[in-house]
Amino acid sequence: MNTTEFKTAISEAKESLRGKTLTVKFVNGGTIKKLSFTSLKSFGNAILEMEKLGAGFGFIKVGNHIVERGIYKAADFQKVLNRGIWSEVTFLATTVK
């Protein structure tokens, strides 16, 4: 997914993302980093930095202490996010093409 589509999806869901842990699994070359954020501002700043590196973005899952639910399509993101009480949302950022 390109950066514009990703940012649009995040912007549309920002109220639903408040108060959750936002995790990004960042794949850069042979390195995978797990970055966690508790504020939308710090998450947004990290996304901008990854964008500068040429990263593409996607959705992985939502979860809480009982269950995790995968997100397979960008179109399903908002729907899955609103169909449960989630404490964590996990995203993918990768520079590997």
Q: Are 65 and 89 in contact (CB under 8 A)?
A: no
Residue 25 belongs to what domain range?
A: 3-94
Q: What pTM did the predictor assign?
A: 0.91
Q: What is the domain count for the chain?
A: 1
The string of pLDDT tens digits covering residues 22-73 is 999 999 988 999 999 999 999 999 999 999 999 999 999 999 999 999 998 8
Q: Are 50 and 26 in contact (CB under 8 A)?
A: yes
CATH number of domain containing 25: 3.10.20
